[in-house]
């Protein structure tokens, strides 16, 4: 048995019943567990198994009792453990009537099923998942238009393909050869934070890949990303005259780049369609259809 409380005050005692494998969840990860909660006399006050439904929550964010926030992050997939939580790590002096009396020490038998990073995408499609490895500082995240300074190491299938740093305006990453998934993750990060970011191909280099970086088509990538610093962009009402003129010029340049990117995109797909048509004609597929 081991004390897994951050304060090392005996508040959370962990006893492993079944060893797990692999890594452990990070703050902000969504975890899926089965659990049974008991008082010290052995009486059960709650169980996800009785409901036959896994319990899911974001660990380390205050969605559950303190004993879980600090204890669950020590568990591996497949691990089964008993977490014994003192009252100050459970429901405290008030308890949770009617099942949990005041000042109760509780035992939770917890089975870790799975966990994954915070979904940073607006559509919650799992395309950009972030797991914090080093916590950042402050309460704010950079917003669109902020000047950010970042560094990262990108890998595919455990093979390092890129190591870079950059300073740019958030929302303008394409002009600096930064994939959309990086910008999506940065909107959820704090200053000084380092995170493992898993980026699906849709938010990286798509089906085309990147020959220069040896990224194959349809490749999901892993980034170890650090937000070193950022400076928020001012809202328009906060700007003076000169700043408004500069901002308008930046918007104009941004729009012009997007138009060029769209035109390139259209040209690319026209070429694909043309090559397919030529291929079909060469194999007689079009001719055969017309003759019929």
- The CA distance from 232 to 234, in Å, is 6
Q: Count Cα neighbours of 265 within 13 Å in the Cβ-side half-sphere.
A: 7
How many other CB atoms are there within 10 angstroms of residue 156's CB atom?
A: 18
Whether the CB-CB separation of 16 and 80 falls below 8 Å is answered with yes
Q: Which residues are catalytic?
A: 35, 45-46, 65, 91, 108
Residues 6+ apart with CB under 8 A from 175: 168, 257
Whether the CB-CB separation of 99 and 45 falls below 8 Å is answered with yes
Residues 6+ apart with CB under 8 A from 6: 70
DSSP code, position 89: G
Placement of tokens 């995170």 in the chain: 195
**Tokens encoding 175:** 């002009």
Ordered DSSP codes for 123-169:
T--SSEEEEEEE--BSS----TT-EEEEEEEEEETTEEEEEEEEEEE
Task: Give the residue among 127, 103, 89, 113 at the shortest CA–CA distance from 13.
Answer: 89
Whether the CB-CB separation of 143 and 232 falls below 8 Å is answered with yes
Residue 40 Cα distances to 3, 49, 83, 103, angstroms: 18, 19, 12, 12
């Amino acid at each position: 048995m081991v004390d897994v409380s951050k304060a090392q005050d005996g508040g959370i005692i962990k006893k492993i019943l079944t060893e797990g494998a692999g890594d452990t969840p990070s703050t902000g990860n969504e975890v899926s567990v089965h659990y049974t909660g008991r008082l010290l006399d052995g009486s059960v006050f709650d169980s996800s198994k009785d409901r036959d439904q896994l319990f899911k929550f974001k660990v380390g964010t205050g969605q559950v009792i303190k004993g879980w926030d600090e204890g669950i992050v020590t568990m591996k997939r497949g691990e089964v453990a008993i977490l014994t939580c003192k009252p100050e790590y459970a429901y405290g002096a008030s308890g949770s009537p009617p099942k949990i009396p005041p000042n109760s020490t509780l035992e939770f038998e917890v089975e870790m099923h799975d966990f994954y990073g915070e979904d940073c995408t607006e559509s919650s499609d799992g395309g950009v998942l972030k797991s914090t490895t080093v916590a950042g500082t402050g309460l704010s995240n950079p917003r669109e238009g902020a000047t950010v300074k970042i560094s990262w190491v990108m890998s595919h299938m455990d093979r390092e393909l890129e190591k870079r740093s950059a300073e740019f305006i958030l929302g303008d990453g394409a002009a600096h050869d930064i994939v959309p998934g990086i910008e999506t993750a940065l909107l959820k990060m704090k200053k000084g934070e380092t995170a493992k970011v898993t980026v699906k191909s849709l938010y990286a280099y798509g089906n085309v890949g990147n020959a220069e970086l040896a990224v194959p088509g349809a490749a999901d990538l892993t980034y170890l990303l650090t937000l070193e610093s950022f400076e928020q962009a001012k809202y328009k009402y906060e700007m003076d005259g000169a700043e408004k003129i500069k901002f308008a010029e930046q918007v104009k340049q941004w729009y012009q780049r997007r138009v060029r990117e769209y035109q390139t995109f259209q040209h690319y797909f026209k070429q694909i369609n043309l090559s397919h048509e030529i291929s079909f004609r060469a194999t007689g597929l079009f001719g055969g259809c017309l003759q019929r």
